[in-house]
A = this chain, B = another copy of it.
Amino acid sequence: MSDPARKAVIIGAGPVGCLSAIALSNMGWEVEIYEARPDMRLPSSKGAAQQRSINLAISPRGILALHAIQPDAADRCLRAAVPMRGRMIHDTTGKLSSQSYDRSGQSIKSIDRAVLNEDLLDVASKTSNVKLFFRHKVIAIDFDGRTMQLEDMESKSNLSVPFHFCVGADGSYSIVRRQLMRVTRMDYEQAYIPHEYLELKMPAGPPQAPGGEPTFLLDPNHLHIWPRHSFMLIALPNQDKTFTCTLFAPTAEFDKLTSSDGIIEWFKTHFPDALTLIGQDALLHDFKNNPRSSLISIKAKPYHYKDRVVILGDAAHSMVPFYGQGLNCGLEDVRVLYCLLQSNNVDPLFTPVEGAVDESLAKALDEYTETRHEDLITISDLAMDNYTEMRHSVTTPAYLFRKNLDNLLSSLFSPPTSPYANDKSGVPFPTTWPSGWLPLYTMVTFRPDISYATVKRKARRQGEILSYAGWATAIATLGAGAAVAYTFLGRLRR
Query: A residues within 8 Å of B by Cβ?
Result: 185-192, 294, 296
Contacts and interface: CB of A to CB of B under 8 A. Distances in A.
**Most-contacted residue by chain B among A185, A186, A188, A192 (CB, 10 A):** A185
B190 A188 contact: yes
Contacts of A188: 188-191
Nearest to A299: B189
Contact of A190 (B187, B191, B192): B187
A294 B191 CA distance: 24
Chain A contact residues: helix, strand, loop or mixed: strand
A494 B426 CA distance: 84
A83 B160 CA distance: 56
Contacts of A185: 192, 294, 296
Contact of A192 (B187, B192, B296): B187
A192 B185 CA distance: 6
A210 to B, nearest CB: 51
Given A186-B190, A188-B189, A189-B190, 12 more contacts: A185-B192, A185-B294, A185-B296, A186-B192, A187-B190, A187-B191, A187-B192, A188-B188, A188-B190, A188-B191, A189-B189, A189-B191
A319 to B, nearest CB: 15
15 contacts: A185-B192, A185-B294, A185-B296, A186-B190, A186-B192, A187-B190, A187-B191, A187-B192, A188-B188, A188-B189, A188-B190, A188-B191, A189-B189, A189-B190, A189-B191
A293 to B, nearest CB: 11
Nearest to A188: B190
Nearest to A184: B192
Nearest to A192: B185
A109 B185 CA distance: 32
A137 to B, nearest CB: 15
Contacts of A186: 190, 192
A248 to B, nearest CB: 16
A83 to B, nearest CB: 36
Contacts of A189: 188-191
Contacts of A187: 190-192
A177 to B, nearest CB: 12
A326 B189 CA distance: 21
